[in-house]
Amino acid sequence: MSDSLDRLYQAVLAARDLDPEASRTARLLRQGPAKMAKKLAEEAIEVAIDAVNAKPDAVIRESADLFYNLAVLWAGAGVRPEDVWREMDRREHLLGIAEKLPKDFGKVAALRPARPPVVALNGGRRREPG
């Protein structure tokens, strides 16, 4: 997936200098962060509504729109996909890939280096190495 998002991001960067009359991406980037954030939020809401309404095909379509608007927002904010992947790797080492960090955890985690990855020992119970 990250390869697809990386390619999307590169295409968004390439469209930055296109004519905003011909390119939706160029137009969004020129409209600024508030417009980009609004479009991203709209797509996220559409994904959520379609999921609640059990419409998987719509969730797929709206998710693609969500990723597009996220890539536009990243480009506008000067955030690169590799920055996000690095943060995801950091979080995976802290809590595992399928967990979201608690809101207050960021303050604690910023003060200490990332822990080594957790390994399974003693019959599958999770323990840190060392």
The pLDDT tens digits of the residues spanning 59-99 come to: 999 999 999 999 999 999 999 999 999 988 988 888 777 66
Length of the chain: 130
- Same-domain status, 88 and 72: no
Mean pLDDT of the chain: 83
63 and 8 in a single domain? The answer is yes
Q: What is the CA radius of gyration of the chain?
A: 19
pLDDT at 39 exceeding the cut of 80: yes
How many separate domains does the chain show? 2
Mean pLDDT value of segment 55-62: 97
110 pLDDT band, cuts 50/70/90, is low
AA identity, residue 54: A
Both tokens of residue 95? Answer: 């809590």
Locate tokens 């991203």: which residue? 40
In this prediction, residue 124 carries a pLDDT of: 45
Same domain? For 110 and 56 the reply is no
pLDDT above 80: residue 3: yes
Neighbouring C-alpha atoms within 13 Å toward the C-beta of 30: 13
19 and 63 inside one domain: yes
Angle at 100 between CA 72 and CA 49, to 5 degrees: 60
Q: Are residues 70 and 115 in the same domain?
A: no
β-pair partners for 120? 126
